[in-house]
Structure 1
């Protein structure tokens, strides 16, 4: 019976990790579309304090993401996940009882200090085989996407009927449920899986930060989330005051704009990705982003404003899905964990800077100046993106080269066209081989995929 229970638990781990990701992100997303409308319930409420409150969790997430990952290697995944969820729950309770913006900011910062995203992904690596890992990662991504859409619609709904503080109470409850799920399903791995495609390698961080191709993606995810936080400083007010929608209508409006934007961008992404034509898609997205930021303050027609907001969310959804995929594809063999760690940190700091600087410019210079600055940043982003090139479809395979057959195969392929990178680990016993699907000889491709394990 013990073996059977462990077997069942192991199968449930990817689902539980996905739920924990979804619960945490749902709690954070629900607050974004409604906080700008709560000027009557918090003392010292102003655009600047609003921006800090929105972005505070991004700051603590950004600075603690890597330390949590390192500590989980030393003290165990489960302990660090417990710690992160307890901090998340405490932060939610502090925010729920806040009566001033200072207390709310403190609660949001404590929420973000439970920076366990990397630790959860590392646990996923410990508990799933190489061949099942891609589907497990896709499940996590799906839950985060659902959490974003639900958060943007449930937040206004809960606020309208029960008040915004109920969102934080619900978030604390989700944190407690997550703690119970960890206790019921997740066992501490007997050994830490050293998987270079998901782990953080500190010695390679500096070179990866300044890598020309990757640094553009770090900048892009930073800009994307900076714009989101800054935009939501004014969007709720724009919808309720300028466009005269009642707050009861906000859930439907957000559902149509964000859900519709997702459905609108999906065919375009599939079409261009299949043909390896990410460059035109990327450039069209960034120039659309810049144009929308410049134009929105000067649009007077209801239809034009709604169309502009719809296009913004289409671009956001597209880039939110495309950028992590590109970062993964461009990662050197065995460095994906480090690359995605830097990528996530850039995203969180974008969230923080969007709230901080967006709030500052909104308070001191007004909506038009804030949107003009975002437009200028978008234009700069577009100009930098002109260097961006289409990316081939790469696969990384983990090859045990202690066997003669695998060692001979590695010698044959090392100088073949289509081999992008080879990294040796474990005293040259394991090789991470990154190669192009389209350029590699079919027989060698078949041999590699048969003898090796797909990674990530």
Structure 2
């Protein structure tokens, strides 16, 4: 990369990471602190956790298309400003309904497509994959930081402090956009990253793409539903203080990276990643059943969490990689737009169903629900075809031997 590409990649990775950090911070704490808000019920707590996903899902593609017309930076600034206002509204809310409204407004700042498009504008073709990968890594880092910072901020400043922190991250990101990211190269339509409404029918007729879209929907449904109850389990069943929950999350999350690396390495080396997805879905099923049956026993909780994060991290890294290989030429951006919409819709549904099921069937019911959802994804994943790149590589090897 040249100096401008390094600046663009670093700046946009930090901006995207700060944006996702603001969304993730609430996951490890809201189920505990939100239940104290006037009017709170398990169902409404779940809705507050997942509300941003619905507005994200609705606005992801329109915001990306708007950035093609008026430029990336105005859309990103507008989205970050909306996110900051939504955070402030949630921080000042005096009831669960105010938090739900604030979270929904946070989601209206749907800047993912515009950030990805700006990254493509500012990098050359041969460097673009590195840039996209580093932006993706920033999301994983944001998730890990949120598991530590969320409980720490909440213990120090309460739930309003968490939301004000997310507003602050958005303002910092706005400054970085103009202070760190190089100017120029914007409003260039690149079919490999930009979404096109006219391509939607084509993308929606591709069975393999639909399988991957359903996979990410289920994955984020499970993640959000799990965090509706996980903080409650750690505090009420295992007696771990709220401020110490990161001591459980982080070691398990870090160790899960090793399992993820092994699985993805095998899948790519043997060109069976598409087949491996069903097995990984099986790991998630086992993890949820362990959590359902042994959540009051610390070793069982740790084993279940480790298996869950191995499965989650593997799928989170594999699904978009496979999706770009299945996407038709010139429609990769549209396929990614649909994929992102499914991802955020899954977060919304996970929060809603997680809260409802917790209220009706308790903590174990939520984990069993997640296991059933993963089972549906397993049945879908079994039919996934081999990507063309895998078939071509196999054919080349056959010719050489």
Say whether the fold is shared (TM-score over 0.5): yes
* TM-score normalised by the chain length of structure 2: 0.93
Look up the SS of the partner of 2:302 in the other structure: helix
Q: CA deviation at 1:90?
A: 0.8
The residue number in structure 2 matching 1:52 is: 47
Q: Are the equivalent residues in 2 in contact too, given 1:9–1:185 (CA < 8 A)? A: no
Which ranges of structure 1 fall in alignment gaps of 5 or more residues? 1-6, 395-417, 419-435, 442-456
Q: CA deviation at 1:332?
A: 1.4
Quickly say closer, same or farther: Cα 1:94–1:9, change in 2 above 3 A: farther
Which ranges of structure 2 fall in alignment gaps of 5 or more residues? none
Q: Are the equivalent residues in 2 in contact too, given 1:45–1:101 (CA < 8 A)? A: yes
Q: CA deviation at 1:353?
A: 0.6
The residue number in structure 1 matching 2:362 is: 366
Q: Are residue 321 (structure 1) and residue 311 (structure 2) matched?
A: no
**Structure 1, 261-270 or 224-233: larger mean CA deviation:** 261-270
* TM-score normalised by the chain length of structure 1: 0.82
The residue number in structure 1 matching 2:286 is: 291
Hey, what's the Cα distance between the residues in 2 that align with 1:225 and 1:329?
Answer: 21
Q: Are residue 379 (structure 1) and residue 375 (structure 2) matched?
A: yes
Quickly say closer, same or farther: Cα 1:440–1:126, change in 2 above 3 A: farther
Hey, what's the Cα distance between the residues in 2 that align with 1:437 and 1:297?
Answer: 42
Structure number with larger C-alpha Rg:
1
The residue number in structure 2 matching 1:391 is: 387
The residue number in structure 2 matching 1:203 is: 198
- From 268, 277, 284, the equivalent of 2:272 is 277
The residue number in structure 1 matching 2:242 is: 247
Look up the SS of the partner of 1:120 in the other structure: helix
Tell me which of the two structures has the higher relative contact order, counting C-alpha pairs closer than 8 angstroms and 6 or more residues apart. Answer: 2
Instruction: Please state which structure has a larger fraction of its residues in strand.
Output: 1
Quickly say closer, same or farther: Cα 1:303–1:70, change in 2 above 3 A: same
- From 267, 283, 306, the equivalent of 1:310 is 306
**Structure 1, 188-197 or 83-92: larger mean CA deviation:** 188-197
Q: CA deviation at 1:281?
A: 2.4
Q: Are the equivalent residues in 2 in contact too, given 1:125–1:193 (CA < 8 A)? A: no
Quickly say closer, same or farther: Cα 1:367–1:183, change in 2 above 3 A: same
Q: Are residue 193 (structure 1) and residue 198 (structure 2) matched?
A: no
Q: Are the equivalent residues in 2 in contact too, given 1:66–1:341 (CA < 8 A)? A: yes
Q: Tell me the alpha carbon deviations over residues 179-202 of structure 1, each in whole angstroms, 9 at most, x when there is no partner.
A: 112233446646522211101121
Hey, what's the Cα distance between the residues in 2 that align with 1:184 and 1:111?
Answer: 24
Hey, what's the Cα distance between the residues in 2 that align with 1:11 and 1:261?
Answer: 29
- From 10, 13, 20, the equivalent of 1:15 is 10
Equivalent runs, 1:36-51 vs 2, <5 Å: 36-39=31-34, 41-51=36-46
- From 265, 272, 282, the equivalent of 2:260 is 265
- Count of residues paired in the alignment: 396
Q: Are residue 176 (structure 1) and residue 139 (structure 2) matched?
A: no
Q: Tell me the alpha carbon deviations over residues 208-242 of structure 1, each in whole angstroms, 9 at most, x when there is no partner.
A: 12311111000000000000111111111111111
Hey, what's the Cα distance between the residues in 2 that align with 1:225 and 1:321?
Answer: 13
